[in-house]
Amino acid sequence: MTDCLWLDEKTEDSITQNSPEQEGLDDGPDFLSEEDRGSRAVNVDLQTDATLQVDISDALSERDKVKFTVHTKSTLPNFKQNEFSVVRQHEEFIWLHDSFVENEEYAGYIIPPAPPRPDFDASREKLQKLGEGEGSMTKEEFTKMKQELEAEYLAIFKKTVAMHEVFLCRVAAHPVLRKDLNFHVFLEYNQDLSVRGKNKKEKLEDFFKNVVKSADGVLVAGVKDVDDFFEHEKTFLLEYHNRVKDASAKSDRMIRSHKNAADDINRMASSLYALGTQDATDICKFFLKVSELFEKTRKIEARVAADEDLKLADLLKYYLRESQAAKDLLYRRSRSLVDYENANKALDKARAKNRDVLQAETSQQLCCHKFEKISESAKQELIDFKTRRVAAFRKNLVELAELELKHAKGNLQLLQSCMGVLKGNT
């Protein structure tokens, strides 16, 4: 089964056509695009399967929604054509995900986690604040900050596209889910699926469902499993999930501090530039050089923060969601085990009373069957989950280390050459 590993920057190319329609936004200084983005070749095993390939070839950002162009290539007979595209919005992805979750048939599988909602609010707010504060800063400062914010916007945009794509790829790679009818409709039907977002009542229902589920989950979790494998997995996943959650939150904070520090270096550069332009003396030239240096190092620092974000923080976030999905699977299995045991008890009671025995028997058989089916597929899913996880971590950690090294070396070279010039002038 091919697996869609943590998505690489393959989406980079596919987004080149996009034009976020925010005022004044352009493809800006694409500081996220690096040569080594072409490492998709190393991408472990995305789509080696020609029977169904899905990707997001384009994306458009409008006022408050993002439109993804989902592009499918398939040799399967179910589809009318071999290659086609449709436009989908975030809600439609959620609908698809929920339909999987609610489908009893899929109770034994890890449902690929839904992509998070595209959230440009923070970025938009900053852009707005910048616009308001335009009067209070110099032209250069303004342009610089604007460019940065645009780059940030672009980065968030790329990330959200990547996450939606990963979801689709995971579904496409799953031997059972890829055959799902809803999925095919999602891929092919080129009209609006008119899935409205949940209204308040439904959201409330969901909320209660979740509460019940977690309470239930606690009860169910208390039931010791006969099967060692699952018992081990349960304890493992619980702990792992919590720790990933913690690590994810902390990595976010760390990266944010990093970005803040990089911003400060930026302002230092501007300040030094202002000092340097006061005069034409030696010391002023010195300031100008240093200001230039800081500009460059800050760009590198910003990239380091961005890469850490991509390789580390996003990885952790993704596995947070996946481990939750795995936990959900275990919960469903435990639930069905409890049901099975209850059915057994009911059968015994019925036999004792010698009433409705047939009914109890069929219901017990159903539960047994369901339980076994889930157990079997769950085992396989969990093993795959492990393999995927290890591979994804490996890939990302290696890339993280390589990028850190690359940037540090770049930074070092920059500093050393600048120092050479500065000292030479003294």
Partner 1 sequence: MAASSDRSPPPFSSAAEQPEEAAPADMADGDSDEGEDIFVNNTNPVAVSRGVSQPERVSEEPPDLFTEEEEAGNTNTKSNGVHSDDDNDLFADAHVELNTDKSGSSDRKELSSSSSSSSGPLPSSSFTQNPALVQPSSLEQLEEEEAKDSFDLDVAVTNPEKVGDGMNAYVAYKVSTRTSLAMFRNKTFSVRRRFSDFLGLYEKLSVKQSHHGCIIPPPPEKSVVGMTKVKVGMDDPSSVEFVERRRAALERYLQRIVSHPSLLQDPDVREFLEREELPRAVNTQALSGAGFLKMINKASEAVNKMTIKMNESDTWFEDRFQEVENEEQQLRKLQAVVDSLVNHRKELCGNTAVFAKSMAMLGNSEDNTALSRALSQLAEVEDKMEQLHQEQAASDFFIFAELLGDYIRLLGAVRGCFDQRTRAWQRWQEAQSTLQKKRESEAKLLWANKPEKLQQAKEEIADWEARVTQYERDFDRIGMTVRKEVLRFEKEKAKDFKSQIIRYLEAMVQSQQRLIKFWEAFLPEAKAIA
- In contact, 400 and 316? CB cutoff 8 Å: no
Which residues, including other chains, have CB under 8 Å from residue 310's CB and lie 6 or more apart? Answer: 159
User: For residues 330 and 237, is the Cβ–Cβ distance under 8 A?
Assistant: yes
Q: What x-and-dash track marks residues 179-218 binding partner 1 by CB under 8 A?
A: ----------------------------------------
Angle between the N-to-C axes of helices 314-353 and 200-222, in degrees from 0 to 180, rounded to the nearest 10: 70
Instruction: Give yes or no for residue 275 binding partner 1 (CB under 8 A).
Output: yes
Q: Decide: is 393 part of the binding site for partner 1 (CB under 8 A).
A: yes
Closer residue to partner 1 (CB): 116 or 410? 410
Query: How crowded is the C-beta side of 270, counted as CA atoms within 13 Å?
Result: 14
**Which of 357, 422 has the CB closer to partner 1?**
422
Residue 366 binds partner 1, judged by CB under 8 A: no
Count of Cβ atoms closer than 10 Å to residue 325 Cβ: 19
Cα separation, 274 vs 186, in Å, equals 56
Select from 7, 114, 265, 378 the one that contacts partner 1 (CB under 8 A). Answer: 265
Q: Minimum Å distance from CB 329 to partner 1? A: 17
* Four-point Cα dihedral 258, 262, 268, 272, nearest 10: 150
Q: Which of 203, 243, 345, 351 binds partner 1 (CB under 8 A)?
A: 243
Which has the closest alpha carbon to 61: 123, 10, 147, 132? 123
Do 265 and 297 contact (CB within 8 A), yes or no? yes
- 94 forms part of the interface with partner 1 (CB under 8 A): no
Stretch 289-328 residues interacting with partner 1 (CB under 8 A) = 290, 293, 297
Task: Note whether 407 and 304 are within 8 A (CB).
Answer: yes
Q: Which two tokens stand for residue 307?
A: 């890469």
Under rule CB under 8 A, residue 421 binds partner 1: no
Element (H, E) at 56: strand 52-61
Cα dihedral sign for 17, 21, 27, 32? negative
Is the CB of residue 153 less than 8 Å from the CB of residue 99? no
Which among 2-10, 15-23, 214-222, 260-268 is the span making contact with partner 1, rule CB under 8 A?
260-268
Question: What's the closest the beta carbon of residue 170 comes to partner 1, in angstroms?
Answer: 20
Rounded Cα–Cα distance for residues 310 and 297 (Å): 20
Residue of 137, 156, 274, 357 that binds partner 1 (CB under 8 A): 274
What's the CA gap between 284 and 297, in Å, rounded? 20
Closest approach of partner 1 to the CB of residue 145, in Å = 14
Query: Is 258 a binder of partner 1 (CB under 8 A)?
Result: yes
To the nearest whole angstrom, how small is the minimum distance from the Cβ of residue 111 to partner 1?
23
How many distinct helices (H) and strands (E) make up the chain? 10, 3
Nearer of residues 104 and 246 to partner 1, judged by Cβ: 246
Which residue in the set 65, 129, 250, 345 belongs to the binding site for partner 1 (CB under 8 A)? Answer: 250
Is 254 one of the binding residues for partner 1 (CB under 8 A)?
yes
Stretch that binds partner 1, among 112-120, 181-189, 264-272, 359-367 (CB under 8 A): 264-272
Q: For residue 318, with 0-12 CB atoms within 10 Å meaning exposed, 13-18 middle and 19 or more buried, which class applies?
A: buried
Q: Which CB, 158 or 311, lies closer to partner 1?
A: 311
Give the count of residues interacting with partner 1 (CB under 8 A).
Answer: 57
CA 155 to mean position of chain CA atoms: 13
Should residue 382 be labelled a site residue for partner 1 when binding is judged by CB under 8 A?
no
Contact pick of 98, 236, 346, 384 for partner 1 (by CB under 8 A): 236
- Does 412 interact with partner 1 (rule: CB under 8 A)? yes
* Spatial distance between the Cα atoms of 101 and 99, rounded to a whole number of angstroms: 5
**Nearest distance in Å: CB 313, partner 1:** 10
Q: Which residues form the interface with partner 1 (CB under 8 A)? A: 236, 239-240, 243-244, 246-247, 250-251, 253-254, 256-258, 260-261, 264-265, 267-268, 271-272, 274-275, 278-279, 281-283, 286-287, 290, 293, 297, 386, 389-390, 393-394, 397-398, 400-402, 404-405, 408-409, 411-412, 415-416, 418-419, 422-423, 426
